[in-house]
Amino acid sequence: MSSSRFLSLALLAIAVMPFASAATDTFAAHLYVSPSGNDQSSGKTPAGAFATLGRARDEIRHLKASGPLPRGGVAVEIAGGTYSLSESFALTEADSGTADAPVVYRAFNSEKVQLLGGRILPLSAFKPVTDDAMLARLDPAARGHVVAASIAALGLTHAGPFPPSFSDSGGIFELFWDGRRLPLSRWPNEGWTTMKRVVVNGDKTTPGAFEYRDDRPSRWLKNPNIWLKGQWRVGWEDPAMRVAKIDPAAGTITFATGLSAGIGNKYTRDKKTGVGPGNGKEPWCVLNLPEEIDIPGEWAIDFTSQTLFFWPPAAKGDLMVSQLDQPMISANGAAHVRFVGLTLEASLGDGIVLQNVDSVLVAGCTIRNLSKNAVILDGRRSGVQSCDLSLLGEGGVMVSGGDKKSLTPSENFVLNNHIHNYGVLKAMYSAAVNTGFGGINAGGKRDAVGIRVAHNLIHDAPRDAVLVSGQDNVFEFNEIYNCGFASADVGAFYSWLDWTIRATIRYNYVHDTVGGVNPDDGAAGMTVFGNVFVGPRTGVWIASGPDQIIDNNIFVKDEGPVFGIDDRGAGRGYATNPKLIKGVEAIAPTKAPWAKRFPEMVTLLADHPELPLRNRFVRNLVVIPKGEPVVLKMSKANQTNPKLFFQADNYVTADDPGFVNAAKGNYALKLSSSVFQKIPGFKPIPFDQIGLQLDAYRRTLPANASSATAPGETAPPQPDQIKNFGT
């Protein structure tokens, strides 16, 4: 991004209050923590620093026991260095500050403070593999390179075995070399193989079976612990499942556990019997086999012998293993607490979990190399600001709060964060920002009202950038690219099966990614205004959801459409879908405040809610050399039903309409652009304000945002329909 894209400091300070000046606050009292400290010290000077955060927390409790904290608050100054956590650093309501006396845990003098959820393993503990039987199992290229150590001798936990089926890390530890995640062994090393033909589709109780294409599985016959990971049925599910049997004579693999709806492409089965051989394109790979260690850095656990096998990537380096399976930092019921400038990494659990908090801030932190999420936030007036979140097994920030029935806002925020290379271990429904979204296999929803998600840079992930749920949430000034290429039914902004959503998506730059705004399966209530969508797989698709307004946006593609709408709800029985109906009933739509704020909800359940009611595509600029801008995948009657869809005042052109510099990615419109004459009332999009900003916690900007995939993560093959952006 060029410097012209950045909002001024003064404007940003207004945008991110009340915490914009927190990094330079003056505090009434200071406590000190150092890796060389002593918990028996006073903690009141750098020379007399405590050794642990827990000791500093307890000292603040002691101060509070004798009276209120001094006006100005307390800063816990954490000296640079490494702090290994064997348990969560946990705060409760007892550890709260107040509005005029906050408690801040921050890096002293901006030094690098590294909190680790793991520990260093000595390379001397690993010995060359000498057992003839194991040597025979190893890949010829790995013999003489792979070393091994007993899990028990290393004193490690979380060493498996995997559960019968899983969609995340499977609960085992991870290895890191000089701070870089090492790949668990897999075949193929990159990309995926595919099923040749389904033999048994199976179901939840009956395991499936399939023919494989390559004779590689014959190398695994002496290993009783085999798990295959794949998109067995649809592109939005990718469980790993244990293998019961490999039959090299028949060339088949039979699973040990069933899968709901079985295996084999959903869309190629007989509609009456549900049986079919698949389409031969279902992607899969094998995980965690010593037999598949064939490149430096790969590792695997033999679950039977409880042995760790590892090909060191170099003669020297720091080998770290994650062990902590709890949140690294947790706060339950705390208020007026800040975490500033900390680095959290190498843990099996989440980074920071904040539950029922008030006015808690995570700012200027680096959170990376975790097996789960960076931050989970539920509360009020709290946020994550100017953090760098990357290389995450699951998602970036899960945020919720407020009350949907009363439309009470949480005032939470996710601002100015660089979130990338996430979903490394759990690809499906792991997002950079998740606003209360439950999802198909992402757990139950939480109320998410009055949340602002702004100025984030999001890129390089297998699935969605933002999961949208809740009410009165605003998503603005975010830049999103290179997401969604390892999934189907995906969007830069994705939501699912909810008629009560009310969200504003404005002034975002979505480019070179899969999906733009995708309210899937009846999701409703998106106001999409002033966004810029660029690239062959971007656009807006309305999957039968009501009350969507697509207004004043810019779409740039090689070929249309850029907008689509369907009426799938009629054929799928949305009118009687209990999830959709119960969601509406829970908000009491005929009473205040919903009846006043959103009067369309009063009669929704009685007015064919299964249809895409009141959708508008107006005043949009569409730049396409060929194709139609809009596709209506609805019955003929619905296509002409004025209650469903309205379009007007859109300008479609094959030529540059007057962008400042499209070749360099600047899609701001010149004042002389013909768009302002062609589209009456078209409002300029503040393109230079999109993306990361300088603020009190982000002093520099990334020179080049990486577009590389995360280590160990590759994408399944994508359909050839490059204009496909819908569901």
CA distances from 508 to 82, 131, 482, 530, 545 (A): 38, 58, 15, 7, 22
Residue 337's Cα: distance from chain center in Å?
25
Give the tens place of pLDDT for each residue, 545-555. Answer: 999 999 999 99
Specify the length of the chain in residues.
727
Percent of the chain with pLDDT over 90: 89
> Taking the CB of residue 332, how many other CB atoms lie within 10 A of it?
16
Mean pLDDT taken over the chain? 92
Does residue 275 sit in the same domain as residue 141?
no
- Kindly report, residue by residue over 78-106, the tens digit of the pLDDT: 999 999 999 999 999 999 999 999 999 99
Quick check: is 377 in a domain? no
Question: Which of 301, 320, 339 is where one domain is finished?
Answer: 320
pLDDT digits (tens, 9 = 90+) for 285-327: 999 999 999 999 999 999 999 999 999 999 999 999 999 999 9
Q: How confident is the model at residue 271 (pLDDT cuts 50, 70, 90)?
A: confident
Q: Are residues 134 and 175 in the same domain?
A: yes
pLDDT of residue 401: 97
221 and 163 in a single domain? The answer is no
Span 120-132, mean pLDDT?
96
DSSP letter, residue 401: B
Is residue 416 a contact partner of residue 16, using CB atoms and an 8 Å limit?
A: yes
| Best CA proximity match to 558, nearest among 536, 531, 532, 537 | 536
Residue 262 placed within a domain: yes
* Of 357, 352, 342, 327, nearest in space to 102 by CA: 357
Domain edge (last residue) among 320, 336, 371: 320
End-to-end CA distance of the chain: 30
Query: Is residue 353 very low, low, confident or very high in pLDDT (cuts 50, 70, 90)?
Result: very high
Q: Kindly state the tokens that stand for 406.
A: 């009363």
3-state helix, strand, coil in the chain (%, to 5): 15, 35, 55
pLDDT per residue as tens digits for the range 605-660 = 999 999 999 999 999 999 999 999 999 999 999 999 999 999 999 999 999 999 99
For residue 154, give the nearest of 117, 119, 118, 121 by alpha carbon. 121
Share of the chain above pLDDT 70, in %: 93
How would residue 487 be classed by pLDDT, with cut points 50, 70 and 90? confident
Domain with 241, as residue range(s), is: 187-287
Q: Are residues 265 and 212 located together in one domain of the fold?
A: yes
Residue at 33 is within a domain: no
Q: How far, CA to CA in Å, does 724 sit from each of 43, 279, 559?
A: 60, 19, 10
For residue 162, tell me if it sits in a domain.
yes
Per residue in 4-44, pLDDT (tens digit) is 222 333 333 333 333 344 444 689 999 999 999 999 999 99
The residue with greater pLDDT, 183 or 536, is 183
Q: How confident is the model at residue 460 (pLDDT cuts 50, 70, 90)?
A: very high
Nearest to 18 by CA among 412, 323, 546, 434: 412
Helix, strand or coil, per DSSP, at residue 98: strand
What's the CATH code of the domain at 219?
2.40.30
Confidence (pLDDT) at 1: 36
Q: What total number of domains does the chain contain?
A: 2
Asked if the model's pLDDT at residue 365 lies above 60, the reply is: yes
Residues 224 and 280 in one domain: yes
Per-residue pLDDT reduced to its tens digit, 512-542: 999 999 999 999 999 999 999 999 889 999 9
With respect to residue 165, please indicate whether it lies within any of the assigned structural domains: yes
Kindly state whether residues 298 and 275 are assigned to the same domain. Answer: no
User: Does a structural domain hold residue 279?
Assistant: yes
Q: Are residues 253 and 272 in the same domain?
A: yes
The answer to whether residue 608 is domain-embedded is no
How far apart are alpha carbons 338 and 336 in whole angstroms? 7
The answer, as to whether pTM is greater than 0.85, is yes
Range with the lowest mean pLDDT among 111-120, 189-198, 433-442?
433-442
| Boundary residue ending a domain (277, 300, 320) | 320
Domain-located, residue 315: yes
d(CA 384, CA 169): 25
Residue with the two structure tokens 């999961």 = 467
Residue 439 — very low, low, confident or very high, per pLDDT cuts 50/70/90?
A: low
CA distance 110 to 315: 33
Q: Are residues 219 and 134 in the same domain?
A: no
Residues 296 and 314 in one domain: yes
Q: pLDDT for 221-252, tens place per residue?
A: 999 999 999 999 999 999 999 999 999 999 99
Of residues 579, 574, 637, the one with CA closest to residue 607: 574
Residues 168 and 221 in one domain: no
Block residue for tokens 């399966």: 521
260 shares a domain with 207: yes
> In which band, very low, low, confident or very high, does the pLDDT at 726 lie, cut at 50, 70 and 90?
low
Instruction: Judge if 132 and 179 occupy the same domain.
Output: yes
Structure confidence at residue 405 (pLDDT) = 97
Mean pLDDT of the 590-604 span = 96
- How far is 594 from 584, CA to CA, in rounded Å? 10
Q: Write out the H or E segment, with its range, that includes residue 594.
A: helix 594-597
Average pLDDT over residues 554-563: 95
Q: What is the pLDDT of residue 486?
A: 87
